[in-house]
Amino acid sequence: MAEEQKPGNPGAAIPGAATTGAVSSAAAPASPAPAAAAPAEPKPRVPFSPVLLKYINEPNSHTIEHYLARGGYETARSHVGVTEPATLIKLVDDSGLRGRGGAGFPTGKKWSFLAKGTGKPAYLAVNGDESEPGTFKDRYILERDPHELVEGVILTCYAIGSKHAFIYLRGEFILGFERLHAAVEAAKAKGLVGKNIFGTGHDGKPGVDLTITVVRGAGAYICGEETGMLSSIEGGRGYPKIKPPFPAVSGLFGCPTIVNNVETISAVTHIIKHGVAWHKQWGTEKSPGFKIFCLSGAVKKPGVYEVPLGIPMREMIDVYGGGLKDGRKMKAVIPGGLSAPVLTPEMVDKCTLDYESLASLGSMLGSGGITVLDEQVDMVSAIYNTMRFYHHESCGQCTPCREGTGWLEKVAHRFHHDEGHQGDVELLADICKNMRGRTICVLADAAAMPMQGFLQYFKKDFEAKIKDPAFVEKQRTYRDEISPKAKTLSATGAGPSALDVGSEMAE
């Protein structure tokens, strides 16, 4: 069991947990450590110890025996077939729980949007794709406490009136799949999933049925976008669909569907068990509760940390993360998964870990993946690596995304090789502008936003990688004057071939 989580004692953290991220940092000599900024205390702190990750370091925490021994499934048992579903939706709405998959949409509100009286079945689709670079939190629930998720699924399905839930997992989560699959089977064997769950359906009362299907993806970032995920569950390519209609109206197989993240659904059980006031004692007014953050990059103790929302970002980095490695200086922080615009150290000093603070700094809390970049990181190479990722992951349906991500990668590649052209900084900014808000899903925005952030705060790093203007002028002369002339002459058989002119250029 984890100890109480307080600064210097990060409870259920997993220092050294696998880190992901599309950034690179060159090895170079260390420099002296900066003085850590004192974190500003927004309000008296209510003590917090991990909730979602409380048991993950205990042996066999993934088994049903372990879960039942700690009171597991008792919350579902006391509500399924007993409490009015609308009461549970209101409770979750009142708790202020916001989706943990990235957008932070209020969960209870989303549930209340589910279309009713359609004559079609309603579905729950749980998003465990977790492909956002820098994000590795859901896998700990899936691998080490899958019954916590299954109980959340039971309660959510009962609340929204769904008899069938799909849990979609990133293809690479092999252990997570095995453990979740085993958890669903174990719950089935105990009558907690299946027909007439929890002994409902007797004494003239209607039974409650629930099927849970675990689906594995094939490893594509776009299958985390909710409609892409639904397409993939339906058996098609993971192509996002135009919204509206939103999934709550027409989702899986054209039926009303609620899509929620693994962490969101796992939190539901605890909120229903302990109530609204319990949840709201932590966090801020608009971002109540707690959240799992994934800390990676240049910190001494990268890992998964569950903390109350609203704590200073500096506390996460300096206390939970132990500060920067080898006394290096911070250059920037990517605060909410790779799509979140970058923060400078000055912005980090002002930032608290809640949705509003990050939005006020022009970025986002996103999936809670915090990547710290130190002074040795080559920002231009980091953004090139980032753009390679988005170009590779674009599904290709929309021209601004398919072409835009390709162009961003191509131009960033020039900078990466110290061969930026005059005007390339402006070209990158222009491509980003033309990508945003013009596509079926927001992957195009997710690619443009980090580039815009890097250009805004680290423009000098790009400018330093523009090749000698004389060389660029020589290239222009070749492209605009020599090459067309050569083509004309060689077409008439009267002049040098383009090959001859090319070798002249190479001199």
Ligand X SMILES: Cc1cc2nc3c(=O)[nH]c(=O)nc-3n(C[C@H](O)[C@H](O)[C@H](O)COP(=O)(O)O)c2cc1C
Q: Closest separation between CB of residue 99 and ligand X, Å?
A: 2
Q: What is the largest CA-CA distance in the chain?
A: 99
Q: Which stretch binds ligand SF4 (CB under 6 A): 68-76, 341-349, 392-400, 410-418?
A: 392-400
Q: Name which position in 395, 411, 412, 448 contacts ligand SF4 (CB under 6 A).
A: 395
Phi, psi angle pair for 222, to nearest 5°: -70, -20
208 in Cβ contact with 201 (< 8 Å): yes
Closest separation in Å from C-beta 265 to ligand SF4: 24
Site string for ligand X, 186-225 (x = CB under 6 A): -----------------------------------xx-xx
Q: Provide the Cα torsion 324, 326, 329, 331; round to 10°.
A: -70
By the 8 A CB rule, do 146 and 62 touch?
A: yes
For position 396 contacting ligand SF4 by CB under 6 A, the verdict is yes
Amino acid of residue 485: K
Residue 443 binds ligand SF4 (CB under 6 A):
yes
Residue list 417-456, contact with ligand X (CB under 6 A): 441-443, 446
Q: Which does 440 bind (CB under 5 to 8 A by kind): ligand SF4, ligand X, none?
A: ligand SF4
CB of 49 to ligand SF4, least distance (A): 40
Instruction: Out of 34, 49, 57, 105, name the contact with ligand X by CB under 6 A.
Output: 105
Q: How many Å apart are CA 288 and CA 352, to the nearest integer?
A: 13
Binding piece for ligand X, criterion CB under 6 A, among 96-104, 178-186, 202-210, 492-500: 96-104
Out of 76, 80, 222, 449, the only residue in the binding site for ligand SF4 (CB under 6 A) is 222
Q: How many residues does the chain have?
A: 507
- Choose between 127 and 232: whose C-beta lies nearer to ligand X: 127
Separation CA 154–CA 157 (nearest Å): 5
Q: CB 488 → ligand X: shortest distance, Å?
A: 47
Question: Which tokens is 149 given?
Answer: 């998720």
Q: Which of 436, 338, 344 is nearest to 387 (CA)?
A: 338
Q: What would the two tokens of residue 90 be?
A: 């209101």
397 binds ligand SF4 (CB under 6 A): yes
Site string for ligand SF4, 239-258 (x = CB under 6 A): -x------------------
Q: What is the Cα–Cα distance from 471 to 465, expressed in whole angstroms?
A: 13
Extended strands (E) in 269-378? 290-297, 303-308, 330-334, 369-374
Q: What is the per-residue binding string for ligand X in 36-55, x denoting contact by CB under 6 A?
A: --------------------
CB 498 within 8 A of CB 506: no
C-alpha 360 chain-centroid distance: 19
Edge to edge, what strands does the sheet with 369-374 contain? 303-308, 290-297, 369-374, 330-334
Q: Two tokens at 99?
A: 């989706």
Q: Which is nearer to ligand SF4, 381 or 397 (CB)?
A: 397
| Minimum gap (Å) between residue 456 Cβ and ligand SF4 | 22
- Binding partner at 444 among ligand SF4, ligand X, none, C-beta below 5 to 8 Å by kind: ligand SF4
The nearest distance, CB 176 to ligand X, in angstroms, is 13
Per CB under 6 A, the list member of 92, 187, 441, 449 interacting with ligand SF4 is: 441
Q: Using CB under 6 A, which residues numbered 221 to 280 contact ligand X?
A: 221-222, 224-226, 259-261, 264
Interacting partner of 25 out of ligand SF4, ligand X, none (Cβ under 5 to 8 A depending on kind): none
**In the complex, minimum distance from the CB of residue 340 to ligand SF4, in angstroms, rounded to a whole number:** 17
The CA–CA distances, whole Å, from 29 to 182, 254, 287, 328, 375 equal: 48, 58, 40, 9, 11
Chain centroid offset of residue 382 CA: 18
The DSSP bridge partners found for residue 324 are 299
Phi/psi of residue 342, each to 5°? -70, 150
Q: Which residues of the shown chain bind ligand SF4 in the complex (CB under 6 A)?
A: 222, 240, 394-398, 401-402, 439-441, 443-444
Q: Which residues of the shown chain bind ligand X in the complex (CB under 6 A)?
A: 99-103, 105, 127, 129-132, 221-222, 224-226, 259-261, 264, 441-443, 446
